[in-house]
Chain A
């Protein structure tokens, strides 16, 4: 158990629908990161939050949004889902905003299947 909790573990939904993925960071960590891993692809950075504020944005589609709440948990909202959104979505957390030497701690992911 890495200490980063992601729910649900699996999600199957239809095209056009909206889903919310939830992440609870490791205790004491202020930064939350979201990554997408599609089939045969590396981990693509989506977005970072630090202590409730958006800090960095990657290749996140306009149909996707995220937020970090006062209790530091984060939610990733995916709307108007398409077949191509099927992927593993990982959340990671770290103590600070800048993580060089130690990287961050990942959760076990949410597998989203859009049918």
Chain B
């Protein structure tokens, strides 16, 4: 039962353009959603999160949008930089899952100079 899904295995964008990474979830009890970034040979690092009571959270070049009715969230990176090239995981927690994060499969972002 895949409760958090990232349907795009990969995304390629030009430097300076917007990157949009998408994530869908099925568990309506989730109340926090997070994005992690992972470089090769490193562990995932926390990027940004959003509470279910909000629909947008911004941190510098990174903005996360939450559409609860559609059970969908997205991460926008503007402007994209080559150093943003990494695997991005969305994750969720809440309800009976509180205390653990449920991760999507990840999206490989490649930003071309």
Question: Residues of A with Cβ closer than 8 Å to B?
Answer: 2, 4, 31, 33, 35, 40-45, 48, 50, 55-56, 58, 90, 92, 97-109
Alpha-carbon gap, A42 to B6, bound state (A): 10
Contact (A41, B105) CB under 8 Å given A56-B99, A97-B99: yes
A45 touches B44 (CB 8 A): no
Is B91 located at the chain interface by the 8 A CB criterion? yes
Q: Known A-B contacts: A42-B89, A42-B103. Give 4 more (CB < 8 A).
A: A42-B105, A43-B44, A48-B99, A55-B99
B43 touches A42 (CB 8 A): no
B 92-113 binary contact with A (CB < 8 Å = 1; else 0): 0110001111111110000000
Is B32 located at the chain interface by the 8 A CB criterion? yes
Alpha-carbon gap, A97 to B46, bound state (A): 17
Q: What would 8 A/B residue contacts be, using CB atoms closer than 8 Å?
A: A41-B105, A42-B6, A45-B101, A48-B100, A56-B100, A97-B99, A101-B49, A103-B49
Q: Which A residues touch B49, using CB under 8 A?
A: 100-103
**Could you tell me which residues of chain B, from 39 to 95, have a CB within 8 Å of some CB in chain A?**
41-46, 49, 51, 89, 91, 93-94
Please give the distance in Å from A89's CB to the nearest CB on chain B: 11
B46 touches A45 (CB 8 A): no
Residue in chain A with minimal CB distance to B106: A42
Please give the distance in Å from B104's CB to the nearest CB on chain A: 6
Q: Which B residues touch A92, using CB under 8 A?
A: 43
Pick the contact of A99 from B36, B42, B43, B101 — CB < 8 Å?
B101
B41 touches A106 (CB 8 A): no
B98 touches A98 (CB 8 A): yes
Is B21 located at the chain interface by the 8 A CB criterion? no
Is B15 located at the chain interface by the 8 A CB criterion? no
Please give the distance in Å from A42's CB to the nearest CB on chain B: 4
